[in-house]
Amino acid sequence: MTKAIETAVKLLESLPETTQENLVEELRRLALEAQDEAKWDATLTQGNGLKTAAQQARVDIAAGQSCDMDYEKL
């Protein structure tokens, strides 16, 4: 475990349980988002990057793992 994680855990431990749970859930969401970004980065750096990315996007859409673009959030 890194020092940064140890420090974060100590900070979390000082907070009320409900706040801890909310923050951990947000951290999970951010970690999953980072994993997804890393997966897309790896896909795009392969030989047929855009073609592979388009195929993966179709798979994600078919699996219900995508949502419509919210242009207001850009």
Kindly report, residue by residue over 54-68, the tens digit of the pLDDT.
Answer: 888 899 899 988 888
Tell me which residue range forms the domain holding 66. Answer: 3-73
Distances (CA, A) of 7 to 3, 14, 23, 50: 6, 11, 14, 40
**Does the structure show a pLDDT above 70 at 69?**
yes
Q: Which pLDDT belongs to residue 19?
A: 96
* Joined tokens for residue 47: 């030989």
CA distance 46 to 51: 10
Give CA–CA dist 33/6, Å, rounded.
Answer: 22
| pLDDT at residue 50 greater than cutoff 90 | no
DSSP secondary structure code for residue 73 in this structure: G
pLDDT over 80 (residue 44): no
What is the number of domains present in the chain? 1
